[in-house]
Amino acid sequence: MAVVYRGTPISQGVALGHVLTVKELFLNIPQQPPDDRVAEVGRFCDCHRAAVEETQSLLENAKICLGKDEANILDAQLTFIQDEFSVIEPIKEAIVEEGLNMAQAIDCVLSKISNLFRQADDEYMRQRAADAEDIRRRLLTHSLGLTEQNYSDLPPDTILAARNLTPSDTIRMDLAHVSAIITEQGGYYSHVGIITRNQGIPSVSGLNGILTQLQDGDEVIVNGNDGTVIAQVGTVERNEFYDLLRHQREEAKALERYRFADSCAADGTQGLICANIGNETEVSRVLEAGAEGIGLLRSEFLYMNCGQLPSEEVQFQAYRKVLEAMGNRPVTIRTLDIGGDKDLPSLPMEHEDNPFLGCRAIRLCLSHVELFRTQLRALLRASVYGNLHIMFPMISSLDELHRAKAILDRAREELTVEGITTAPVRTGMMVEVPSSALLADTFAKEVDFFSIGTNDLIQYTVAAERGNPGVEYLYTPYHPAVLRLIAMTANAARENGILCGMCGEAAADTALLPLLWGMGLREFSMSPGAVTTVRSALAGIETAACEALVPKILACSQAKDVKELLQKQMYSHLVG
């Protein structure tokens, strides 16, 4: 009898194959201190040099075998591993000043960096912990004289099962023969997610304990659409798989015509489908996906990957690169969104008992005006190279917005006095806390656009931490309270003649799309891989029918009622 395991869908698609478990390399770190600390630093330098050379080799292989996006992961790692401030010098100091051997020093420094990323409230930044872990393992492998496992010659229809996979793991693998990847850990923005989506390999993560349930050689079906893995496959399951595979291929062919199409409803009402990205290297994915702009560029990558605060010039060059690549398409850059839960080496902060309700995002920037001013100057300097929109995160009061705008105005005045040309920019804010939604009618008179960040809005509205299994049942965009806040925000935007969009995970939920469209949202920003799916769904709905649906949904008192009504109405009234 078939056994079904449920995880989190990471990359769409279905696959049938046989399990191969990826064995983890055991890293036994010696505890004895070095006899000669200076000599130990020299040995570390040799080890580091070898690890850099290996990273360079992996990068070249990635360019040849995988493609630009995958190579960008290794390119970022190459920069990271050579960072004097956050990697090299701290390891040397740990050896000389603390008397650690080089393996202990490597483990200590890179583990701290990895933990720093894991504490981030943004999922994309949390997944960057895998890069730090990969570098840690590479340095330790060289320091301990170990050799990585070889997965370069795999049999056809291999289903890889692992606790987690690092970028270097996947680059060493024979992905041509990998039908699917399943992992216990990882998330949508993990490197496994990026690589499997770009390579078209179905993937499921969050399968806790799956390595103890499956054996090498077991035949399984992996469904990256709904996050299920089926073991002990029988005739019924096999036939259902082939039917699903056939349907999937037909659907993918049909979606291709929407890749570079206009984003509009069946009645011709125009919208905008944009993409979210985490750094400047991902612009190619945006363009290849046919996105009409960047609805969210997380600027934190400039701060998280180095041991010192990025200079105005470093930021300017990064923003300019994105704007030039995007041409006239809108590029919305969110100002720095970090907080007390992330103790950056370059920005020491006091410990907070509840950092998610503490000094983060705009609150942090307003308490570190010079930090904020530097970023705003860089953004304004870059504005002449494209269609820049600046977005302030976690605004909860009118005073915060006024102060942020005043600093932006002063930065522009400074640049003008210095003879530096800037271009007009649209200024907006994220609506991600209940207070900003409740005061949306006031805020709408002060900004050019709203972007609803559903990830935090849900968390703060229902008082349920994202990723906490104990309260997972509460964390849903279908919660009536959340939907009413979204409706209030959209109404205020419409009444004041400004654009209202969404950049949270819910923006890619095609089941919610008719409701959000009916509320008046006209811009949706998501992972590049979801663009054509959402654009296709938008082409099949009628605006008037969507608007008629809104009061019915807002009258619901439970999330399950919302889901049922949406499912019912989608097919009986909304399809054009």
Lookup: tokens for 238: 């096999």
Enter the tokens of residue 297: 């560029």
- Three-class SS state of 523: strand
Q: What is the identity of the amino acid at 393?
A: P
Q: Which residues are catalytic?
A: 191, 503
- 193/429 Cα distance (integer angstroms): 29
Q: Give the angle subtended at the CA of 410 by the CAs of 404 and 415, to the nearest 5°.
A: 130
- If you ran DSSP here, which 8-state letter would residue 440 be given? H
Alpha helices (runs of H) in 173-311, residue ranges in sequence order: 191-199, 210-213, 235-255, 283-289, 301-304
Helix locations, 234-297, DSSP H: 235-255, 283-289
User: How far apart, in whole angstroms, are the C-alpha atoms of residue 201 and residue 77?
Assistant: 23
The size of the chain, in residues, is 576
Nearest Cα to Cα of residue 180 among 106, 241, 260: 241
The SS3 assignment for 5 reads strand
241 token code pair: 């798989």
The Cα–Cα gap between 73 and 195 comes to 9
CA–CA distance, 203 with 177 (Å, rounded to integer): 14
